[in-house]
Amino acid sequence: QHFLIKNLVNSHYINIILSHTTTHAADPVHLTEVCANTTFSPNSIYQSNLNSLLSSLSSNATQNLEFYNTTSGQNTPNPVYGLFLCRGDVTPQLCQECVAAAVKEVTKKCSREKVAVIWYDECMLRYSNRSFFSTVDEKPRFALLNTQNITEQDKFNKLLAKSMNETAAQASNAPIGAKKYGTKEVNISAFQTLYNLVQCTADLSRNDCSTCLQAAIKLLPWCCSGKQGGRVIFPSCSVRYELYPFYRMEIATLPPTPIHPPSYTGKKKISTATIIAIVVPIVALVLVILSFCFLTMRARKKSNAIKGENFKKSDQILNYQAASELPTVDSCLQFDFGTIEAATNKFSDDNKIGEGGFGKVYKGTLPSGQVIAVKRLGKSSGQGVEQFKNEVELQAKLQHKNLAGVLGFCLKGEEKILIYEFVPNRSLDNFIYDLKKQGQLDWAARYKIIGGIARGIQYLHKDSQLRIIHRDLKASSILLDADMNPKNLDFGIARILEVDQTQKNASRIVGT
């Protein structure tokens, strides 16, 4: 944010021009990219169609378009579908530069993958071997946050939720093909403003855009609760808020306010009191604006530094999603032990929902209201902290609709804890070995569960970027969600513990 203060002495005017524009570096700001593991052969029809698609996206970005989708090789056996979306406030030149940079980078980073998406601060580009136009895709996704805390968090969170929902309603109300982009500024206090931005791809319907934005907004408390800035980005939409103007706005010019000099005749001098009355308000106004400018610049530096840290190669966390075989990137994998202890009521037996060879499982509730499953691993692991983190990161890369989603981990001393999504129907053995519940598993339900388990295992064995052999597949390792869809659990834990199981239901671990 730039402030230009101009004192026109001769005309006794003070012009204050607030130019709420985001300064952009010479190059677009790269965030991350995601490449699927399904590959195509060099010099294949698919590669030819992909090259044609990327060329079309680049050329159409020069036509001052903010959004463009197209299909290449539609009449061939291997069509490619792609689009680009520029942030609603960027200039046509910056949009063109961003799309060109995205094409160059994705060609280098995802040179043989059939499915890819790449994000910049100013644009997004994606392509796939399946048609995803006019479809809401919430994964792969990632989040960024400013680690600086906000004061009066409850009040701020309510204000954020209200303003975000209003901005989402504004953006999603645009018809198909129109820009689905919205911003909103809300005063937190006399010296602090909340800036919101939301955007959907232009091919979404009003309902689909609203659905996508609401899903992203619901994740803000999980990743960024009480923080001074945060964003959640999906392939189909994104939301962001900050305490400084990070997007371009219309230049707001305050009308000149004449300062009427006192009337006098002859050589009568202006009184000291009159001079003070004129000068003091001017000086005070200048100091207030300069102070706000300083605070804004400092907040931006902190947020930018955090963003940079979150995407250092050594700290980047990748999670993989099933339907499109694409990973997600989340910046909040590590949980505080106190948070997990409070969520499970200090690991009370009343919260225990399972126990097996790798440890006990507890139901927990985070401060945001999200219900989680907490697996407290055995303390006999000989692994170090960094190795444990690396192994959890590998697990987080393996997300599939038939795998229990790893939300994160917790470390304290010998405590090694995994946090999963919570599923209400617990594990399959609770139905198979319970005479009362067996009746709920008719053949159709069992067939559905069998197929889901097989798809999850096939993903681990064959389709994932990693190759994981489960080695502990049993009824207690299969969770069932509210719709009785199976989710394989405990895949990869053998690598995490790297020791013999010592509790009941134990068997020799030989690794993955």
**DSSP character string of 327-366:** EEE-S--B--HHHHHHHTTTT-GGGEEEEETTEEEEEEE-
State the Rg of the chain over Cα. Answer: 28
Map out the domains of the chain with their CATH numbers: 30-128 (3.30.430.20), 134-252+273-315 (3.30.430.20), 337-497 (1.10.510.10)
**Structure pTM?**
0.49
**DSSP character string of 413-425:** TTEEEEEEE--TT
- Which of 13-27, 177-191, 222-236, 480-494 has the least mean pLDDT? 13-27
- The pLDDT score that the predictor gives to residue 250 is 55
Query: Which comes out higher in pLDDT, residue 33 or 511?
Result: 33
Instruction: Give the pLDDT band (50/70/90) at residue 212.
Output: very high
> 412-451, pLDDT tens digit by residue?
887 888 888 888 888 898 888 888 888 888 999 999 999 9
How far apart (Å, rounded) are the C-alpha atoms in residues 464 and 425?
26
| Three-state secondary structure call for residue 167 | helix
Strand pairing category for 327-329 and 352-356? unpaired
Spell out a b/e string for 494-503, using b for 16 or more CB atoms within 10 Å of the CB, else e. Answer: bbbbeeebee
How far apart (Å, rounded) are the C-alpha atoms in residues 248 and 311?
24
- The pLDDT score that the predictor gives to residue 21 is 36
Give percent of the chain above pLDDT 90: 36
Q: What angle do CA 220, 304, 225 make, to 5 degrees?
A: 20
> 85-116, pLDDT tens digit by residue?
999 999 999 999 999 999 999 999 998 999 99
How far apart (Å, rounded) are the C-alpha atoms in residues 479 and 485?
8
How far is the CA of 106 from the CAs of 74, 103, 200, in angstroms?
22, 5, 21
Contact 461, 502 (CB under 8 A): no
Q: Which of 89, 203, 208, 472 is catalytic?
A: 472
- The pLDDT score that the predictor gives to residue 14 is 25
Q: Is 472 a catalytic residue?
A: yes
| Mean of all residue pLDDT scores within the chain | 77
| Three-state secondary structure call for residue 403 | strand
Residues contacting residue 102 through CB under 8 Å, at least 6 positions apart: 28, 84, 118, 120, 123, 124, 125
pLDDT surpassing 80 at residue 236: yes
Give percent of the chain above pLDDT 70: 71
- The pLDDT score that the predictor gives to residue 23 is 41
> 320-374, pLDDT tens digit by residue?
233 333 333 344 578 889 999 999 999 999 999 877 666 788 999 988 788 999 9
| Three-state secondary structure call for residue 194 | strand
